[in-house]
Structure 1
Amino acid sequence: MNFSFPNVKQAAEEVRKKSKVREWIEAALFAVVAATLIRTFIFEAFVIPSASMEKTLLINDFIFVSKISYGPRIPITPLAWPFTHHTMPFTKSTRPFSTAIQWPYRRLPGFSDIRRNDVVVFNYPCGDTVLKSITGEDEDYYTNMRSPGPEYVHKNFPPPLTRPVDKRENWIKRCIAIPGDTIQIMDGVVYINHAPTTPPEHFEAKYYVTMPDGKELTDSMKDVLGTDHIQRTTGDSTMFIYNLTPANVDTLKAMGGKIKRYVFDAFADSRVFPFDTKHYEWNEDCFGPLYIPQKGATVKLDTLTLPFYSRIISTYEHNTLRVVDNKIYINGRQTDTYTFKMNYYWMMGDNRRESMDSRFWGYVPEDHVVGKAWIIWMSIHNNRIRWGRLFSAIR
C-alpha cells in the first residue's frame, strides 16, 4: 500500500505568503475605517481659501474643526468614497457619492449648543443647486438666476447639478445670531435684540483715512498694519479707503489720522436677502430687523413676510408651497401661519465688506452645521510658515 503526504513545508510557506498580503490589506482597511470615523465623528481638517474671515483667519490657515462640540452629524449620504466631498479629486464634476440611500438628519449629543460669536463650519445653504462654468468651476445658481436671469443661465451653462445637504460646499463664518434672536444692522453696526454688539477682536471693516501729510499710506506702513495694498481713492485727493481692524484704527489715530467708518447709505440692494427691494430697502450696512427662526416657534404668513420664510418652508423643511391670488398654500392647505421644524442661525464674516454671508443668502439650518472651528495647526504665506499662528485657538 502506498501513502502520499503533502509537502507540509511548502504549504506552510504558501500560508505565510497569503497571511502577509492579508495583513497589509487588513491594515489598510483598518486605517481607512479609523480615519473615516475620526473625520466623521471627532474632527476634520480644512484650509481657509478666502479673506472673508480676516483677520481672525487668514488665507492658507489650516484648521481643525471639532465635530463633537455641537454633536457629530450622522451622514445623510452614507454611500460615498472615503476622504471625498462633492467632487472626485482631479476631476471637475464627477460625483464620489450616490443618493440611492438618503438618511434623515440626526445628530449625536455634543458638549454645547451653538453660541453667539462661535466660528462655525457649515454646508452652504444655497449649494443644493450648482452651475458649472466652462472651466468646471462652481457658480452660484440662485445668484445667476436672479441676475443676469434664467435666459442667460440656460444659454451659457449646462444643466445644473444638485447636491444633498452633507455634500454641499463647506463654508466658515461667525455665528452672529441664534434661534429666537432679532438682528438689525444700522450704519454697519450689528444689533442683537436691540442692543449693539461688540465686534470680534480681529474684525475688519473699511474706513475713510486722511493722514496729516494728505498722502496715501506707504507700502511699508500697510505691511505693518497688515492691510491689503489695494488703492481705493475717493473724490478727495487726500482721503483714501482702507480695510482696517480696530487696532489699526487706534494706530492711525495715534499718528494724527482722521478716521471715519465707510458704510453704505440706505438704499435697496437687490443682492441682499430677502431679495425684495420693493418692500425692503436693505443693504449690507442697513438691514433688518429680522427674526431668526426657532424650532417650534410659529410665525404669521402673508405676502410681505413670505419672502423671509419661503425657502425654509419649501427647501429646508421639504413642504410644497404655492401662492394663488395672494393666498398661501402649504402641502395643499391654505394657511396664514407656519411652525418651524428646525433651528436656524445667522452667519457673517469678520471681514464685513469682503464677505458673502447670511446678508446675501439668509439663514443657516441646523442640519447644515458641520462643526466648530477649533485650532489653527498650520499657516503658510508666500511659501513660508507663519510660526506665530501655529496651534492657536480660534476665537
Structure 2
Amino acid sequence: MKKLIKIFLIAVLVILLTRSSFIDIYRIPSDSMRNLLYRGDLILANKTTYGGILSGILATLGIRSVPKRNEVYVFTINPEYYGLFVKRCIAVPGDVIQIAGGIVSINGQQVAETNTVRHQYKVWYNNYSMTKENFEKGKIDLEENGGIKFSKYLFIGLDLSQLPLVKKMKGIDSLTRYISTNDSVKLSLDRLGMSTEMPRLAALKIPYKGMKIILDKQGYTQYAYIIRHYENAAFVVKDSSLYISGRKTGHYTFKKNYYFMMGDNRVNAIDSRDYGPVPEDNFVGKYLYKL
C-alpha cells in the first residue's frame, strides 16, 4: 500500500512539474478562433519559454523565445478581462497596424490570412431552395454559421477555406464580403443584437521596450489605455498639462514589448481591437495542437 501511495505521489509531482514548466492543457472559452478552435476544445500549449517556471530560469540564462506573427498563443490581459485568452499574433513590436475597410495591413502590406479566418458575407442567390440544399451537401450548417435569409441574399459567416466551394454552388449569383460601414443590412443586424466587424483602426505603431512617444492629443488617445493598464503609470490632466506618476511630461518611454492579437473569427472576437496590444510578460504558452 505504501508503495502504491509513493508511486501515486510521484506521478502527481511529475504532472504538476510538467504542467507548470513544459506543457499545459487549456479549454477554449469562446468561438473567437473558429474555425481553427471551437468553444470547449481542449488544447496543448508549450510553456517552456512562455509563462512557465522553466521560462524564468531560461530567461536568466539568455535563452528565450518571443511571439511571432501568425502564431497562436495563450495569454492573459488586464484585470478588467478575467481568464485566459487564445488568439493569433498579428503584429509584433515596432509594426504599424491599420484596418481600413475591414482589411488588416501591417507596415503598409495587406496581411495574408490563414484559411481559418472567418468574415461575414452576402451570398446573392437566384434560387434559395437550391442554395440551401447545396450548403447542406457541402456540410456548411446555415444556423451554426449564423445564416440569415434576406430577399435577395443570404447573410452568413464563412472561413476562407469554404469560399471556393460556395462560389461554385448552383443557385448562387455572387458572393461579396460584408463590411458594416454604410451597409443596408447593418440596421437589421443591430436589431438582432449581432456583432459586426470593426471596419477601421487608425494606424497604430505597436510599442516596444524603449520606444519614446510624444504625448500630444493623438499620442494620448492611442496609448493612454496601454500605459495606464500595463505600464502601471497614473495619468493626471491638470491645467491642460499631463502628469504621469506625479511628474509633468509631454513624452513617454515604454517599458515593455507589445503584441497585437486577433481572433480568426474576425466578426465575433474580443481581441486587441478592444483591449489593445498585449505585453510580452502576459503570454502563458504557445498553441501546439487540439486534443
TM-score normalised by the chain length of structure 1 = 0.63
Q: 1:301 to 1:266 in 2, by over 3 A?
A: farther
C-alpha contact (below 8 Å) 2:256/2:280 kept by paired residues? yes
Q: Note the alpha carbon deviations across 1:272-329, whole angstroms, 9 max, x for none.
A: xxxxxxxxxxx71111211111111111112332132223323312223211122111
Instruction: Give the match's secondary structure for 2:218.
Output: coil
Tell me, in whole angstroms, the C-alpha distance in 2 between the residues paired with 1:172 and 1:340: 25
Of residues 46, 53, 71 in structure 1, which corresponds to 2:33?
A: 53
Corresponding residue for residue 246 of structure 2: 332
Letter in 1 for 2:239: D
Tell me, in whole angstroms, the C-alpha distance in 2 between the residues paired with 1:177 and 1:288: 14
Letter in 1 for 2:69: R
TM-superposed CA distance for 1:219, in Å, is 6.2
TM-superposed CA distance for 1:74, in Å, is 4.0
Number of equivalent positions: 271
Instruction: Give the match's secondary structure for 2:31.
Output: coil
In terms of fraction of residues, the more strand-rich structure is: 2
Of residues 13, 16, 33 in structure 2, which corresponds to 1:36?
A: 16
C-alpha contact (below 8 Å) 2:51/2:281 kept by paired residues? no
- Worse overlay, 250-259 or 332-341: 250-259
Of residues 239, 242, 246 in structure 1, which corresponds to 2:153?
A: 239
RMSD of the alignment, in Å?
2.6
What is the 5 A alignment of 1:52-201?
Answer: 52-68=32-48, 70-74=49-53, 106=56, 108-109=58-59, 112-123=65-76, 125-126=77-78, 128-129=79-80, 168-201=82-115
TM-superposed CA distance for 1:223, in Å, is 6.5
* Structure 2: runs of 5 or more not aligned: 184-196
C-alpha contact (below 8 Å) 1:71/1:107 kept by paired residues? no
Tell me, in whole angstroms, the C-alpha distance in 2 between the residues paired with 1:295 and 1:107: 21
Corresponding residue for residue 351 of structure 1: 265
Tell me, in whole angstroms, the C-alpha distance in 2 between the residues paired with 1:178 and 1:216: 45
2:266 pairs with 1:316? no
2:217 pairs with 1:303? yes
- Worse overlay, 323-332 or 340-349: 323-332
Identity %: 33
Instruction: Give the match's secondary structure for 1:108.
Output: helix
Tell me, in whole angstroms, the C-alpha distance in 2 between the residues paired with 1:107 and 1:232: 53
Instruction: Give the match's secondary structure for 2:180.
Output: coil
Q: 1:255 to 1:373 in 2, by over 3 A?
A: same
Tell me, in whole angstroms, the C-alpha distance in 1 between the residues paired with 2:275 and 2:141: 27
Q: Note the alpha carbon deviations across 1:135-159, whole angstroms, 9 max, x for none.
A: xxxxx6xxxxxxxxxxxxxxxxxxx
Tell me, in whole angstroms, the C-alpha distance in 2 between the residues paired with 1:306 and 1:319: 13
Task: Report the structure number with the largest CA radius of gyration.
Answer: 1
2:181 pairs with 1:265? yes
TM-superposed CA distance for 1:28, in Å, is 4.1
Corresponding residue for residue 375 of structure 1: 289
Letter in 1 for 2:127: D
C-alpha contact (below 8 Å) 1:216/1:238 kept by paired residues? no
Tell me, in whole angstroms, the C-alpha distance in 2 between the residues paired with 1:296 and 1:359: 23
C-alpha contact (below 8 Å) 1:264/1:286 kept by paired residues? no
Q: 1:358 to 1:289 in 2, by over 3 A?
A: same
Deviation above 6 Å: which 4+ runs of structure 1? none
C-alpha contact (below 8 Å) 1:302/1:328 kept by paired residues? no
Q: Note the alpha carbon deviations across 1:147-194, whole angstroms, 9 max, x for none.
A: xxxxxxxxxxxxxxxxxxxxx511101011111111111111110001
2:238 pairs with 1:285? no
Tell me, in whole angstroms, the C-alpha distance in 1 between the residues paired with 2:267 and 2:4: 52
Tell me, in whole angstroms, the C-alpha distance in 1 between the residues paired with 2:142 and 2:256: 40
C-alpha contact (below 8 Å) 2:215/2:250 kept by paired residues? yes
Instruction: Give the match's secondary structure for 2:15.
Output: helix
Instruction: Give the match's secondary structure for 2:181.
Output: coil
Tell me, in whole angstroms, the C-alpha distance in 2 between the residues paired with 1:182 and 1:32: 46
C-alpha contact (below 8 Å) 1:227/1:242 kept by paired residues? no
Of residues 201, 204, 211 in structure 1, which corresponds to 2:118?
A: 204
Larger RCO (CA within 8 A; separation ≥ 6)? 2
